[in-house]
C-alpha cells in the first residue's frame, strides 16, 4: 500500500470513528461501541475494505497504551486501597472460574488436554481498556466498582499470564519459573523507579523544557514503561502504562501531563485502536463450527467472568448490583486474549479455525461490555426507587406501630399510678 493511500485510509477511518462516536453519544450509548462497529464494517468480516497492517497496528498499540496511562492517572488510589482485597478476590475468581469452565467444556467435546488447557487459559484474559473508556464516559471510573474493576484487571492480567506461562511451559516442555520470577522482580522495580523518579521530573522538567517538549518527554517514558512491562516483566504492555499513570498522578505534573496526553490520545491514537480491534475480526473461519459449539463457548466466556468476578465481589460484601457491575466490567477480553491466542497459534496449541473462534469471542465480549455496563447503571437507580417504594411504607408502618406501643405504655403507667 502506497503512502498516499495509507493517508487516505487513516483519514477515512478517523472521520468514520469520530462520526460514529458522535452518533452513539447522541443516542446515549458509549462512543467506543460505534468505533468498534466501524472497524467490523470496514474489516474482512463485512466490506473487506481494510486489512491488518503494521502501521495501523503500531498506531493501535500506542492508542491502548495512552488509554491505559490516562486511566491510571484518573484512578483514585485512596479508593483503590480500600478495594484492594475485593480486587484481588475478584481477579482470582475471575481467572479460576473461566479456566476451569473453558478447559472442562473443550475437553468434553473431544479436544486434547493441552489444547483444552490453552482454550481455558484464553478465557481467563481480561482487557480493561474497553471498560475503562466506558466507565470514564459514564463518570464512574473513580467509583467503588470502577476502581475495583481497574485493580482486578491488573491483578487478572498478572494471574492470567502466570497461568499462560505455566500451560505453555508444561505443554511445550519449557520452564515457567523464569517468567514468573521476572514478574516478581518487575513490579517493585517499576514502582520504586516511578515513586522516586517522577517527583524529581515534576520539579526539573518545568525549569528545563517548554510544555510541548515536556509532554514529549513524558510520552517517551510511558512508552518505555509499556515496553519494559512486556519485555522485562512478562506482563502486558498496558499494565506498565497503567502503573506509570498511577505514579505520575501522584506528582505535581499530573495536570499538564493529563491535559497534553489526553488531547494526543483522544484526537488520533485511541480512536484508531478501537477501530483496529474491529478490523482484526474475521468471522469467515468460524463457518464450519456448529452453532452449539459457538453459542456455548460464547456463553461460557460471558457467564464465567460475571460469575467469577461478581461472585468474588459478593464474597467481599459488595451489594448485589455492585458485584454485578464488577462482573460485567471484567467481561471484555480485548487485545489481551488476542495476544495470548497469537502465542498459542504460533506454538501450535490451537488451529487457525480455533483462532478465528477466539477472535469472535473477543469481539463479542468487547462489543457487549459497554452495552451491559450502561444497562447495569441504568437499571440500578430504578431498583433503588423500587426498593424505596417498598421499604418506605414498611418503615412508616413500623414507626406508627412504635408510636402506638409508646402511647399504650404511657396509658398503662397512668392507670397503674
Q: Which residue has the higher pLDDT, 184 or 33?
A: 184
Q: Which three cell numbers stand for residue 82?
A: 480500600
DSSP-assigned letter for residue 286? G
CA 349, CA 338: separation in Å to the nearest integer? 14
pLDDT at 79: 66
The pTM for the full model equals 0.72
Q: Please name the residue that has the C-alpha cell 518527554.
A: 217
Question: Which residue shows C-alpha cell 412508616?
Answer: 396
Quote the mean pLDDT of the chain: 83
Q: Which of 294, 301, 330 is nearest to 91 (CA)?
A: 330
336 or 106, higher pLDDT: 106
pLDDT tens-place string over residues 320-367: 999 999 999 999 886 667 767 877 777 788 888 888 888 888 878 878
pLDDT digits (tens, 9 = 90+) for 238-287: 888 988 999 999 999 999 999 999 999 999 999 998 898 888 767 777 87
Residue 74 has phi, psi (to 5 degrees) of -95, 5
Q: How far is CA 355 from CA 20, 34, 283, in A?
A: 28, 25, 10
Over the stretch 305-319, which tens digit does the pLDDT of each residue have? 999 999 999 999 899
Inter-axis angle of helices 144-172 and 320-329, nearest 10: 50
- Which residue did the predictor score with more confidence, 1 or 382? 1
Alpha carbon distance 338, 162 (integer Å): 16
Which residue has better confidence, 413 or 362? 362
What is the per-residue pLDDT for 128?
72
Q: Which fold has domain 53-377?
A: Na+/H+ antiporter like fold (1.20.1530)
**What mean pLDDT is predicted for residues 157-184?**
74
Which are the contacts of 397, defined by CB distance < 8 A and separation ≥ 6?
none
Which tops the pLDDT comparison, 147 or 177?
A: 147
Of the listed ranges 62-76, 86-100, 185-199, 376-390, the one predicted with least confidence: 376-390
Q: In the predicted model, is pLDDT for residue 134 greater than 60?
A: yes
pLDDT tens digits, one per residue of 47-104: 999 988 899 999 999 998 998 898 888 877 776 677 788 989 999 999 999 999 999 9
DSSP 271-320: HHHHHHHHHT--GGGGTTS-HHHHHHHHHHHHHHHHHHHHHHHHHTT--H
Amino acid at each position: 500500500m502506497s503512502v498516499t493511500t495509507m493517508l487516505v485510509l487513516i483519514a477515512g477511518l478517523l472521520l468514520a470513528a469520530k462520526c460514529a462516536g458522535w452518533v452513539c453519544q447522541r443516542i446515549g450509548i458509549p462512543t467506543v461501541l460505534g468505533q468498534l462497529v466501524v472497524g467490523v464494517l470496514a474489516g474482512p468480516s463485512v466490506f473487506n475494505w481494510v486489512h491488518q497492517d503494521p502501521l495501523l497496528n503500531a498506531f493501535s498499540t500506542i492508542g491502548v497504551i495512552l488509554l491505559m496511562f490516562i486511566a491510571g492517572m484518573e484512578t483514585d488510589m485512596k479508593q483503590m486501597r480500600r478495594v484492594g482485597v475485593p480486587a484481588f478476590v475478584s481477579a482470582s475468581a475471575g481467572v479460576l472460574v473461566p479456566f476451569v469452565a473453558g478447559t472442562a467444556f473443550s475437553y468434553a467435546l473431544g479436544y486434547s488436554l493441552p489444547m483444552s488447557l490453552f482454550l481455558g487459559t484464553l478465557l481467563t484474559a481480561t482487557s480493561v481498556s474497553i471498560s475503562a473508556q466506558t466507565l470514564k464516559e459514564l463518570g464512574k471510573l473513580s467509583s467503588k466498582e470502577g476502581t475495583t474493576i481497574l485493580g482486578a484487571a491488573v491483578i487478572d492480567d498478572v494471574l492470567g499470564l502466570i497461568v499462560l506461562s505455566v500451560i505453555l511451559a508444561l505443554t511445550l516442555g519449557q520452564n515457567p519459573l523464569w517468567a514468573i520470577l521476572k514478574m516478581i522482580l518487575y513490579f517493585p522495580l517499576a514502582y520504586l523507579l516511578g515513586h522516586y523518579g517522577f517527583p524529581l521530573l515534576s520539579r526539573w522538567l518545568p525549569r528545563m523544557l517548554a510544555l510541548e517538549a515536556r509532554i514529549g518527554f513524558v510520552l517517551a517514558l510511558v512508552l518505555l514503561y509499556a515496553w519494559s512491562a512486556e519485555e522485562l516483566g512478562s506482563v502486558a504492555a498496558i499494565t506498565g502504562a497503567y502503573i506509570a499513570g498511577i505514579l505520575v498522578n501522584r506528582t505535581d505534573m499530573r495536570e499538564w501531563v493529563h491535559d497534553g496526553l489526553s488531547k494526543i490520545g483522544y484526537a488520533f491514537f485511541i480512536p484508531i485502536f478501537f477501530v483496529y480491534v474491529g478490523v482484526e475480526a474475521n468471522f469467515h473461519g468460524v463457518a464450519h463450527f456448529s452453532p452449539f459449539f459457538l453459542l456455548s463457548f460464547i456463553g461460557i466466556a460471558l457467564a464465567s467472568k460475571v460469575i467469577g468476578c461478581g461472585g468474588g465481589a459478593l464474597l467481599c460484601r459488595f451489594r448485589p448490583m455492585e458485584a454485578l457491575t464488577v462482573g460485567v466490567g471484567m467481561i471484555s477480553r480485548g487485545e489481551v486474549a488476542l495476544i495470548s491466542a497469537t502465542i498459542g497459534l504460533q506454538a501450535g496449541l490451537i488451529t487457525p479455525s480455533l483462532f478465528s473462534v477466539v477472535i469472535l469471542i473477543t469481539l463479542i465480549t468487547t462489543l457487549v461490555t459497554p452495552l451491559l455496563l450502561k444497562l447495569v447503571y441504568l437499571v440500578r437507580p430504578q431498583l433503588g426507587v423500587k426498593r424505596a417504594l417498598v421499604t418506605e411504607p414498611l418503615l412508616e408502618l413500623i414507626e406508627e406501630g412504635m408510636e402506638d406501643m409508646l402511647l399504650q405504655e404511657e396509658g398503662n403507667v397512668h392507670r397503674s399510678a
